[in-house]
Amino acid sequence: MKKTTLLCCVAMLMSISAFSQILKPVTWSYAAKKTSATEATIYIKATIDKGWHLYSQFVKDGGPVKTTFTFPTAGTYTPIGKTIEPKPVTRFESTFKMDVSYFENAVVFQQKVKLKGKNQVVKGSVEFMVCDDKQCLPPDQIDFSVPVK
């Protein structure tokens, strides 16, 4: 009897895990372009699955988690100004009971940096949240490293 119960439990757990999947509706890619001997622009692209959206860096308090870029202090480069983004879509979302700004399909963020030397690597992280019309995923954080040549 105990073996039958144990086998049933194992079979149920296996069938549940077979139906569950990890959702990753955003794919990140990175590039850098030198604009002078001492400056470069870092391009951070989010490719967003159909039906999902990624929130802007400029979301008011009380809404979803805004996209946030962090560039740790490094002796090899210094960020110049804030990370810029194109114009987002702004709509009322009943989930948050407010207007929110977001991107669909794809978006490219840009960060200018001052370089200290040749062949630098710009490291950072992005925290973000994505939703579709049925659900929001918990905020996620991705670390990145972009060589500048």
Q: What is the mean pLDDT of each run of 10 residues along the chain (149 residues)?
A: 43 42 91 95 98 97 96 90 98 93 98 89 97 95 95
User: Residue 114: what are its φ and ψ, rounded to 5°?
Assistant: -100, 125
pTM for this entry: 0.83
Task: Identify the pLDDT of residue 21.
Answer: 66
Task: Identify the pLDDT of residue 20.
Answer: 53
Task: Identify the pLDDT of residue 97.
Answer: 94
Nearest to 71 by CA among 128, 9, 34, 124: 124
Task: Identify the pLDDT of residue 12.
Answer: 42
**Do 75 and 18 meet the contact criterion of CB atoms below 8 Å apart?**
no
State the DSSP code for 35.
S
- Looking at CATH, the fold of the domain delimited by 26-148 is given as Immunoglobulin-like (2.60.40)
Task: Identify the pLDDT of residue 39.
Answer: 95
